[in-house]
């Protein structure tokens, strides 16, 4: 079942952001960037996942991070909000170094962001209502009536009927769970919303519903968004800027992990052939690499 979602309206600020992303410099018309990563490197068990990645995300921008599986997209996104600690480098959120924040300051910072997980990450032991109300109960001193009103409003915004509130996550379809995850991420009206593969595993119609929800969220709230996705349709439709990462293990030590950083319209014309191949879904060169490694 797909509920009608309002079609995106024309938004001039959105157009100006798209145009400004042609250069590698962030949009200077905005204030200081909301999120900055300076020379961030991440290693797990001695294996380098990210190496010296530098990134600035201006306020109000929708950034899509694309790349092959295992290239470090999700790790980068989790590093941006302090869920993964960088091995070196620093991450600034609104000018504050996340590694220098104490628990109270970090909690307050996290109050300003929402995370939509790949499989929604809803708490199994709670109902949908309790899941969506969780951030409110954690951070706000509201009466039960106020909490109920907020939760129902958010569920309605993502196109879910009231009956869903009483159900458990296991009783919902994948698309419904993702919408509940979005409602939960938006309940505190965050400044930054992060989406981890929001359309993976969904049918094309539900993928488009999620894309429209991301766009309508952006219209209703002045949010900055970061979307990790493999889905080029999502990247083209919702992003102002696209960043393509490449797996660290397949690069020389002096090569940058960021293969592309620009507006979605430039993806097809990227100088790097690996970007064009990824966008078109051409496996030729990768297949040859895999065969060569098998023969070695």
Partner 1 sequence: MASVAPTDDSRSSDGPITRWVTDWGTIVVDGLTMVGDITLFAWQMCVWMFTRLPLQGTLLPNFYQVGVLSLPVVALTGTFIGMVLAVQSYYQFASIGLESRLGGVINMSLVRELGPVLAATMLAGRVGSAMAAVLGTMRVTEQIDALETMGADPIHYLVVPRFLACILLIPALTVMADFMGIVGGYFYSVIILGIDHAAYQTNSREFVGGFDFFSGIFKSVFFGGVIAVVSCYRGFHCLPGAEGVGRAATAAFVYSFVLILAIDLVLNILLDAIYFALWQHSATIL
Of 21-29, 75-83, 88-96, 154-162, the window that binds partner 1 (rule: CB under 8 A) is 75-83
Nearest approach, Cβ of residue 103 and partner 1 (Å): 7
Work out which of 93, 115, 195, 246 binds partner 1, going by CB under 8 A.
Answer: 115
262, β-bridge pairs: 242
Collect all residues with Cβ–Cβ distance below 8 Å to 108 and sequence separation of at least 6.
Answer: none
Angstrom distance (rounded) from CA 154 to CA 192: 17
Q: Does 110 bind partner 1 (CB under 8 A)?
A: yes
Work out which of 91, 93, 117, 151 binds partner 1, going by CB under 8 A.
Answer: 117
Angstrom distance (rounded) from CA 61 to CA 63: 6
Contact at 8 Å (CB) between 42 and 75? yes
Of 109-117, 153-161, 197-205, 238-246, the window that binds partner 1 (rule: CB under 8 A) is 109-117
Q: Does 271 bind partner 1 (CB under 8 A)?
A: no
Contact at 8 Å (CB) between 64 and 72? no
Angstrom distance (rounded) from CA 9 to CA 93: 30
Q: Does 134 bind partner 1 (CB under 8 A)?
A: yes
How many CA atoms, within 13 angstroms, populate the side-chain half-sphere of residue 12?
Answer: 0
Of 86-94, 116-124, 209-217, 235-243, the window that binds partner 1 (rule: CB under 8 A) is 116-124
Nearest approach, Cβ of residue 233 and partner 1 (Å): 24
Helices (H) and strands (E) in the chain, counts: 10, 10
Q: How many positions of this chain bind partner 1 (CB under 8 A)? A: 25
Q: Does 144 bind partner 1 (CB under 8 A)?
A: no
Angstrom distance (rounded) from CA 58 to CA 229: 20
Q: Does 101 bind partner 1 (CB under 8 A)?
A: no
Q: Does 198 bind partner 1 (CB under 8 A)?
A: no
Work out which of 21, 63, 81, 245 binds partner 1, going by CB under 8 A.
Answer: 81
Collect all residues with Cβ–Cβ distance below 8 Å to 122 and sequence separation of at least 6.
Answer: 128, 131, 169, 177, 180, 181, 184
Work out which of 111, 167, 236, 286 binds partner 1, going by CB under 8 A.
Answer: 111
Angstrom distance (rounded) from CA 230 to CA 236: 11
Q: Does 121 bind partner 1 (CB under 8 A)?
A: yes
Binding residues for partner 1, rule: CB under 8 A, are 78, 81, 83, 103, 107-108, 110-111, 113-115, 117-119, 121-124, 134-135, 138-139, 184, 294-295
């Amino acid at each position: 079942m797909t509920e009608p979602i309002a079609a995106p309206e024309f938004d001039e600020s959105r157009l100006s952001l798209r145009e400004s992303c042609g250069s590698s410099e962030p949009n200077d018309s905005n204030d200081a960037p909301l999120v900055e990563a300076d020379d961030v490197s991440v290693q797990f068990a001695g294996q380098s996942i990210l190496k010296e990645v530098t990134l600035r995300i201006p306020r109000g921008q929708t950034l899509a991070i694309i790349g092959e599986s295992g290239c470090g997209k999700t790790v980068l996104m989790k590093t941006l909000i302090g869920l993964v600690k960088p091995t070196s480098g620093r991450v600034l959120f609104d000018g504050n170094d996340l590694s220098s924040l104490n628990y109270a300051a970090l909690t307050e910072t996290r109050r300003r962001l929402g995370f939509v997980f790949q499989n929604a990450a809803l708490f199994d032991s709670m109902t949908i209502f309790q899941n969506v109300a969780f951030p409110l109960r954690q951070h706000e001193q509201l009466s039960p009536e106020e909490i109920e009103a907020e939760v129902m409003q958010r569920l309605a915004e993502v196109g879910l009927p009231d009956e869903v509130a009483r159900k458990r996550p296991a009783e919902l379809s994948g698309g419904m769970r993702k919408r509940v995850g979005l409602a939960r991420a938006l309940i505190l009206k965050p400044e930054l919303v992060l989406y981890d593969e929001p359309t993976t595993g969904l049918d094309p119609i539900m993928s488009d519903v999620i894309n429209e929800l991301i766009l309508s969220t952006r219209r209703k709230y002045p949010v900055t968004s970061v979307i990790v996705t493999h889905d080029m349709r999502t990247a083209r439709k919702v992003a102002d800027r696209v960043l393509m990462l490449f797996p660290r293990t397949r690069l020389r030590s002096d090569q940058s992990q960021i293969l592309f950083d620009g507006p979605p319209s430039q993806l097809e014309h990227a100088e790097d052939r690996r970007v064009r191949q990824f966008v078109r879904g051409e496996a030729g060169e990768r297949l040859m690499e895999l065969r060569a490694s098998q023969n070695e």
